[in-house]
Amino acid sequence: MRRYEGLGSIVMPVAQQFSPDVVLVSAGFDAVEGHQSPLGGYNVSAKCFGQLTQLLMGLAGGRVVMALEGGHDLTAICDASESCVSALLGDQSDSVFPWPQEKPCPKAWESLERVIEIQMTRK
């Protein structure tokens, strides 16, 4: 299963039902590769941030506004920002990459499954 199953199973369906006019993103990149614990340590690739941005571009007719929230590793911030801006500009070159194969911790997975179960009753 994909590491970001929650986005595809929860966030995107709810957002599509809401049918927003614009999507506003406060982009923090503490999860990107390069940030050490306790602030980061999640090792999400910069390309993954671009892929997530491309998914959001499917909402609101592609009207997505991103504001840089911050981060603590300059290289990681630059790489993730570049990937997001490329996605906003329609660059599909980074869109094909393998999703991380690690599964979340069992408790996180249980919570995600419960949220999906509840959300399915609201359709």
Q: What is the pLDDT of residues 31-52, one digit of tens each?
A: 888 777 676 667 788 888 998 8
Determine contact, residues 103/109, Cβ cutoff 8 Å: yes
Q: Does some domain include residue 123?
A: no
| Residue span of the structural domain in which 18 resides | 5-118
Rounded to two decimals, the pTM is: 0.75
Would 56 be classed as within a structural domain? yes
Number of folded domains in the chain? Answer: 1
State residue 6 phi and psi, 5-degree precision: -60, -35
* High-pLDDT (> 90) share of the chain, %: 29
Residues of the chain with pLDDT under 50: 1
Residue 121 vs residues 7, 104, 112, 116: alpha-carbon distances, Å: 18, 24, 15, 9
